[in-house]
Every structure is written in structure tokens, then in C-alpha cells.
Amino acid sequence: MPIQSTRLAICPGSFDPLTLGHVAIISRALSLFDRVVIAVSVNIRKQPLFTLDERAAMIRASFPGETRIEVEQLTGLLAEWGRTRGAVAIVKGLRAASDFEYELQMAQMNRHLNPELDTLFLPTEAGNSFVSSSLVKEVAALGGDVQALVPPHVHAVLMVRLAERAASALRAMPEVAESGA
């Protein structure tokens, strides 16, 4: 009888915060691979709203009881990180054609660094094509309704964090602090 190997895929991203678009891509990856590691990373070009641990907790809460998902913090190069875990693929969601150019360069570099690691691009569903974590944060911070774009528990945490940030910003304003408002 042939030995069955476990096909492991990595879904990398900053997930700050996790959106329903992310959830859909991860769910589709689960239908294609035996196990999926969600690699929560730091994007040095962005200022995160949530810590790595907070983002990992939100992801875990979005897939309760799913034993084929692991959530880990990504450190170092994705290609090498994937090699150490025995991953066969990186799964990336594409929202629009504009995502492809950047993601293709990343896929080619990862393949150069680790020829055993393929990248699979999954187009998002049309309803998620405009959703990004950055846009969700911006709209929510300006009072827009983003409930339909993130899991309920993520929405609750997002609203609390934005309220904390707003209160902190108000306290930091000299005229507000002096007036006792």
C-alpha cells in the first residue's frame, strides 16, 4: 500500500484584521490541501492595529474545531520558513489584476529561493474583490459600517481597538487635556 503524504500549504499575510475575504481563501485552501498553516507576518510598510498574537487569536477563533489549520507567526523568509515545515505550496488570494503583478514577483522570488514550493493564486469571490484589511480599518475608523466584511468577533475587537485609539488621541491633544474634556 502506498504511503500517503500530507500536502501542506501556507497562507501568508498580515491579517490586520482578518476579513471575510481571507476566511474564504483559507477555506478554499483547506479544500485543496490536507493541512494549512496560516502564517501571520509583520508588514514593515504598514503600521499594525493589532499585535501578532491578537491577529493569530482572531484567526483561530474564525476556524473553531478545524484541526487541519495551524496559525503561526512568520519570521524570516517565507520560502525558507516553508522549507522547514515541508510545505508544498503558498496560497495567495488575488482581489484584482493589480494584485497579480506584485504577487507574481513574490512567487517567482519564493520559487527561486525554494524550488520545491509552488504558489497558487486563488481569485476572490466578486463580493470580496474590494475588501482589504487596510480599507476595513480606514472605513471603520471614520465611522463606516464594516460588519459585513469581517467575522463578528473580529468586528467587536476592531471597534474596541479603534475606540481605544480615538480616546488615546483625544487625551494626547493639548487643548483637550487642558480643558478637562
Q: Which CATH architecture has domain 8-130?
A: 3-Layer(aba) Sandwich (3.40)
pTM above 0.85, yes or no: yes
CA distances from 101 to 106, 107, 108 (A): 9, 10, 11
Cell of 130: 474590494
User: SS3 of 89, please?
Assistant: strand
How far, in Å, CA of 159 to CA of 152, rounded? 11
| Residues designated as active site | 22, 46, 95, 133
Per-domain boundaries in the chain: 8-130
pLDDT tens for 2-14 read 555 789 999 999 9
Q: What pLDDT, on the 0 to 100 scale, is given for residue 168?
A: 80
pLDDT tens for 159-177 read 999 999 888 877 777 665 5
Strand extents, DSSP E, the chain:
8-13, 35-40, 69-73, 89-94, 118-123
pLDDT tens for 106-160 read 999 999 999 999 999 999 999 889 999 999 999 999 999 999 999 999 999 999 9
pLDDT tens for 61-83 read 999 999 999 999 998 899 999 99
How far, in Å, CA of 55 to CA of 59, rounded? 6
